[in-house]
Structure 1
Amino acid sequence: MARKKVNLSDNLSTFSEHWSPKVVAGFNGNDIMVVKVKGEFVWHSHPDTDDFFLVLKGRLTIRMHDGDVTLGPGELYVVPKGVEHCPVAEEETHLMLIEPAGTPNTGDEATAAVKSQI
């Protein structure tokens, strides 16, 4: 089966909303997503999965009770499963996220943003 290459910048240019992840590919049962973020997300945790963040553009601070982690372009951080965290971006920031398919982005299906495929 032939697959198309994925251009993250091109995919990010197709939408403007914040905190609305877009699935651009799949990998071994995981969703590979791009998302634009700005402002503060909700405090949440994922009881069964780690949370992967890679900054493509901008700056992201991941607040955690044990201390914050601030990331710039080309930097990534993995929040361990079960650790409560709150992503914050003072300016519009572009991220790549990887998580098991079907994982709600808040750790709770009732409050999670709906992922869409692009």
Structure 2
Amino acid sequence: MNNSPVPVNIADKLAQFSDLWSQKKIAQLNDYEVKLAKLKGEFVWHKHDDTDELFLVISGRLTLQLRDGDVTLGPGELYVVPQGVEHCPVADEETAILLFEPVGTPNTGDAGGSRTKAPETLS
């Protein structure tokens, strides 16, 4: 059995799935999950009362609608939505993102509903 360290290749992980708005866990760091997702369209307005949420755009463009004004991100850009701030992600084109948040953080925050999904682990 080979126990040598293996890096996580983000492009390879993104190639493993095509479903939208479904988070895929690719690593864990202490009590935080590193997740990928592909987005297109508009999500739901929500907030996370107990944690900040980091969005890093890998490809495409993501607009984070905020009540105080929108933030638009392109590839290689990130934004941290502060704890308790209501937001709604929107992607006019298919967009790949990396998320970093505590284990067990619901993707729909306080909104709940049919779009709430636990992350799947990619091998």
Summarize deviations over 1:32-74 as a string: whole Å, max 9, x none: 0111000000000000000110000000000011000000000
What is the Cα deviation at residue 102 of structure 1? Answer: 0.7
Provide the aligned length of Structure 1 versus Structure 2.
Answer: 118
Report the secondary structure of 2:21's partner residue. Answer: coil
In structure 2, the CA distance between the partners of 1:87 and 1:110, relative to structure 1 (3 Å rule), is: closer
Show the counterpart of 2:101: 99
What is the percentage of aligned positions where both structures have the same residue? Answer: 56
- Give the greater-gyration-radius structure (CA): 2
Shift >2 Å, 4+ stretches: 1-4, 108-111
Summarize deviations over 1:60-100 as a string: whole Å, max 9, x none: 00001100000000000000010000000000000000000
Show the counterpart of 1:114: 118
Show the counterpart of 1:42: 44
Partners of 1:16 and 1:71 in 2: CA distance: 21
Q: How does 1:64-103 map to 2 (within 5 A)?
A: 64-103=66-105
What is the Cα deviation at residue 107 of structure 1? Answer: 1.0
* Unpaired stretches in structure 2, ≥5 consecutive residues: none
Structure-2-length-normalised TM-score? 0.91
Partners of 1:84 and 1:24 in 2: CA distance: 26
What is the Cα deviation at residue 28 of structure 1? Answer: 1.6
Structure-1-length-normalised TM-score? 0.95
1:28 paired with 2:33, answer: no
Cα RMSD (Å): 1.4
